[in-house]
Amino acid sequence: MRVSLCNEVVGEFDFSTQCALTQKFGYDGIEIAPFTLSNDPPRIIAAERKDLRNIAADHGLAITSLHYLLRAPDGLSITSADNTQRNRTIEVMRGLCGLAADLGAGILVHGSPDQRKLANEADDDGRKRGIDCFAAVADAAASSGVVYCIEPLSRDQTAFINTIEDAVSIVRQIASPSVKTMLDCSSAALTETESVPDLIRRWLPTGLIAHVHFNDPNRRGPGDGELDFGPILKALRDVDYRGDAAIEPFIYEPDGPACAARGITYVRKLMNAGT
């Protein structure tokens, strides 16, 4: 299992410095939030894509994945009743598949809670529109050779897709090997009725989970809260998980670099102990 850093944690720095810090702290790769690269990420030109990939490689890092996909450009939504807005969103989603492939990233993680808001809890039409958008990106993901992951998020962030079961239902409906789901430890610990290790043992063997985020329900990094990652890492080892995991805190105290260093130190200690 490779462990990556979500780059917005050190997003105050230019990309080369982000990679230098990520390498220094002991990560295997970097997971990119596209909004940190451009106000319109699908329009990043080929030469810049090549440069970004080379910068990461020069620091001994893989660009493993993209996440927080729809923060840029502005005005995107997969649940909007506005056909023009939704079609534009689908085009961005498809374009991000190509960006991921050009950067060498095999995974895209679709969280973006603000861009999947529902009008209300009973907005089944909004849910259907969201599902249609995920289905519409399957061919682009397949042709780009990437996997597009639907991220379940806690109920305080969104009313649309809160559990792995919710996401799996959509993945099975779309029935494409290029559309899967993932496990976010923070959201899972807040929302699911099963423990995170039990979720891993239940769902990883299905092949429907393609990525993992390490974070605590308190929105900090692994080891900075009450969630015990020892059993989580043991469960991943028990099911022989060979994919990528990314450390993704949302609160940076005292600052991003300190959080990034602390998170990987904690996770590596547990991994080296064989938990």
pLDDT tens digits, residue range 232-246? 999 999 999 999 999
Whether 174 shows a pLDDT value over 70: the answer reads yes
pLDDT tens digits, residue range 115-167? 999 999 899 999 999 999 999 999 999 999 999 999 999 999 999 999 999 99
DSSP state of 28: S
Binned at pLDDT 50, 70 and 90, residue 11 comes out as very high
Query: Three-class SS of residue 232?
Result: helix
Q: So what's the pLDDT on residue 275?
A: 61
Dihedrals φ, ψ of 32, to 5°? -105, 130
Q: So what's the pLDDT on residue 274?
A: 78
Q: Find, among 1, 7, 60, 52, the residue nearest to 30 by Cα.
A: 7
Enumerate domains of the chain plus CATH numbers. Answer: 2-182+240-249 (3.20.20.150)
- For residue 270, give Cα distances in angstroms to 216, 228, 230: 16, 10, 6
Binned at pLDDT 50, 70 and 90, residue 21 comes out as very high
